[in-house]
Structure 1
Amino acid sequence: MQTRIGAPFLACAVLLAMTLAREAPAAEPAPTEVTIRLDDRQYRAAGIEVTRVEADAGTTQTVLPGTVSVPPQQLRVVAAPAAGLVEALLVGPNESVTAGQPIARLRSTDLLEAQRTYLQALSAEKLAAERLRRDEQMHRERIIAERRLLTTRADYDYARTTLQEREQMMALLGMSEPDLRQLKEKRVMAPALIVTAPEDGVVLEIRTTAGERIAAAAPLFSIGRLDPLWITLQMPLAQAAAISPGTRVSVPGTPAQGEVVRLGRSVDPATQSLSAIVEVTDGAEAVRPGQVVSASVALRPNGTPQWRLPSGAVVRHAGQSWVFLRTQQGFRARPVVVISETASIVSIRANLAPDDQVATRGILSLLAELTEVYGG
């Protein structure tokens, strides 16, 4: 069923929509620049000084502090497979090890108990296998019923499963295949357990001592693969926009170099800095985990002109860096990106012209005007 709308009603609806459209305020984006009107008398009274911007090179280097570390995926913690006494440590700190290399000897009653139950399961499996062989022969000769054969077969399956479980337990305890074969063939129980390195690497930390009694799963060693390495840079918020994944980084005085692979999202509340992870793929042997370095970061041009100013010309407010550009009406607060900074000079990227002048001194009044727009 269709309803026909009269022409007078349609005209009223259109008129009402146009009225609401005129009355509704348009949503405008937040301004990126702030105009500050200032006449010559106010300009002189505020003691404002200006300087002409100076063109800077398109590619620059900035130095950031960083700490060398081992990537988490390349760290392995070797834990005690069973509770017992650390009889001997077979490697020392900073020693290179290979996968399967013995690194500690552990004397454990858990190991003896595991070997005993394994031998019991081995004997039970052999006995069950013999019973199964005999009953299969007797069933073929129609001496026993099929029901008895099925029971004997189930007993053998249970004994075999129990033996496999005990074998897995021996493997979890770290018993090597030759020791397990000797236990199976000669029934000679090993008095001690040999802990081996899980992979190639360097012993970064030893967390136990010879003669110490430890619990099961207690950490014994930290082993790390030291190529590649990470450098965690501390990056000021003002330079965060100038660094991106793929930015090249080197350590002066060493062949170590790599590129940024990850940028942090959270800010350190104490230093107000972000972290940037650099993966050192070349010359990783020249730096060591835990070392504090000064890394040189190569900042590539992104199409925005780069300028050099006195450090006092840049202010920080509302999480952004600003300069105050001189205009005929007064000044214009313009957001900029800080590339590098020293005690006296700052390099920025901003849409400026060679003849532009920015305020360098007496800018408290200008900052107050900016604060009124963006809040404290």
Structure 2
Amino acid sequence: MPLAIARRFCAPLLFSVLATSALAQPGTPDIIIRLDERQLRSGAFELGNPEPESGPAEIALPGVVVVPPMQLRVVAAPAAGLLETLTVSPDEVVRRGQVIAQLRSTELVEAQRLFLQAVTTKELATDHLRRDEQLHRERVIAERRLITTRAEATAANAALDERVQLLNLFGLSDEEVAELRRTRRIQPSLPVKSPVDGVVLTRAATAGERVAQAAPLITIGDLSVLWVNAQVPISRVPALAQGSRVLVPAQGAEGTVLRIGRSVDASTQSVTAVAEMTSGTDALRPGQAVTVAMALRGNGGGQFRVPAGSVVRHRERSWVFLRTPEGFRARPVTVLNETAQFTSIRGELAATDQVATRGILALLGELSDGDES
């Protein structure tokens, strides 16, 4: 429609728009637009019938396979030192407790020395406490000296516990700490072990490199359950529901919709829907681009095909305009699929309904004007 005609047609008081209070809610009512014969002629509307479809109740969307963040573990250097060996490569399967690297560290040597020193101090403090308790029972020393000795023994125990915790942070197990205490042999290097079962995803260091404390060495992922981040056009979000079934047909993986995002990508006007794939994940790879089929929400209406320009967006909903004796009736629908020529929709329609296929701009303008009035 020419812009001049659209402006003249959209003059104030031309339409009467009703039931505008619940546009964005489920079960949104129709909006009635009343026109007389002169207004219908000046609008130059064209009409068409919706074509029933028997297509599948699902939608195909692009997505990317990712590892859930709670299933990622970054193995970091427990101490600063020289990375002597790194025994695993990307995509290698590792088991919990498996040695993945060997680290030579002066910090580790110093921590072991201070631990053994704390062991000696604790043993001496214990001996002093035992002796002073005996002397106090024999009334040889005053109680004040016994109190001081007990405080020294308590401090020695706390210092030893601190040194044990530091060795645990360096990666030594309780059994290895006990062995060090028994043999008093300081080890210059430390085996770095995998904390979980999984697959090596990335390797951030190489053998022969000096690394700082807490520097990442490798990333391990549990790939038993994977996510697919699917990009959903904003117009199709109402057709999806949390918990609905999801398929990756090419790889044979299955899962459910975990959540549907609330934020929209400004550049693509799409929302991210996260699908949790729990079956057939062996055929999926992190970072892989896939096509997912998501089951659509049922709303009690049938599925139809209309010309692409027949569907408009207004207040977070999709609408079509049905011809009525008094003018038009704006009816909310759910968009299932779109092509350059046609749009598949679901809603309370019938094959005998007449849908506006031309003059949509003027009707949409009056719909917006009705909200502002």
Same fold (TM over 0.5): yes
Counterpart residue number, 1:17: none
Equivalent-residue separation in structure 2 for 1:30 and 1:180 (angstroms): 68
Please list, as runs of the form range in 1=range in 2, the aligned pairs for 1:76-115 lying within 5 A after superposition.
76-115=73-112
Name which of 222, 231, 240 aligns with 1:243.
Answer: 240
One-letter amino acid of the structure 2 residue matched with residue 29 of structure 1: S
Matched, 1:299 2:296: yes
Equivalent-residue separation in structure 1 for 2:364 and 2:130 (angstroms): 96
Could you report, residue by residue, the CA deviation over 1:44-95 in whole angstroms, capped at 9, with x for unpaired residues? Answer: 6655332112223485121011111111111111222211221211211111
One-letter amino acid of the structure 1 residue matched with residue 21 of structure 2: P
One-letter amino acid of the structure 2 residue matched with residue 350 of structure 1: G
Secondary structure of 1:129's counterpart equals helix
Shift of 1:114: 0.5
Q: Would you say the 8 A contact 2:63–2:231 is kept in 1?
A: yes
Counterpart residue number, 1:29: 21
- Detail structure 1 runs of 4+ shifted over 6 Å in the superposition: none
Could you report, residue by residue, the CA deviation over 1:124-178 in whole angstroms, capped at 9, with x for unpaired residues? Answer: 1111222223333333444333333332222222212211111111111112334
- Mark the runs of 5 or more structure 2 residues left unpaired by the alignment: 1-18, 24-29
One-letter amino acid of the structure 2 residue matched with residue 35 of structure 1: I
Shift of 1:293: 0.7
TM-score normalised per structure 1: 0.85
Name which of 290, 305, 308 aligns with 1:308.
Answer: 305
Secondary structure of 2:119's counterpart equals helix
Shift of 1:343: 2.9
Secondary structure of 1:240's counterpart equals helix
Please list, as runs of the form range in 1=range in 2, the aligned pairs for 1:205-354 lying within 5 A after superposition.
205-354=202-351
Residue range with higher mean Cα deviation, 64-73 or 355-364: 355-364
Equivalent-residue separation in structure 2 for 1:129 and 1:109 (angstroms): 30
Name which of 140, 149, 153 aligns with 1:143.
Answer: 140
Equivalent-residue separation in structure 2 for 1:147 and 1:367 (angstroms): 92
Change (3 A) 1:127 1:97: same
Name which of 164, 169, 173 aligns with 1:172.
Answer: 169
Please list, as runs of the form range in 1=range in 2, the aligned pairs for 1:43-62 lying within 5 A after superposition.
43=40, 46-57=43-54, 60-62=57-59
Equivalent-residue separation in structure 2 for 1:272 and 1:289 (angstroms): 25
One-letter amino acid of the structure 1 residue matched with residue 277 of structure 2: V
Q: Would you say the 8 A contact 1:58–1:305 is kept in 2?
A: no
Equivalent-residue separation in structure 2 for 1:77 and 1:214 (angstroms): 15
Change (3 A) 1:308 1:136: same
One-letter amino acid of the structure 2 residue matched with residue 76 of structure 1: R
Could you report, residue by residue, the CA deviation over 1:233-275 in whole angstroms, capped at 9, with x for unpaired residues? Answer: 1111111111011111100122201011111111111111111
User: How many corresponding residue pairs?
Assistant: 348
Change (3 A) 1:148 1:372: closer
Counterpart residue number, 2:67: 70
One-letter amino acid of the structure 1 residue matched with residue 323 of structure 2: R
Shift of 1:325: 1.2
Secondary structure of 1:271's counterpart equals coil
Residue range with higher mean Cα deviation, 212-221 or 365-374: 365-374
Equivalent-residue separation in structure 1 for 2:20 and 2:64 (angstroms): 44
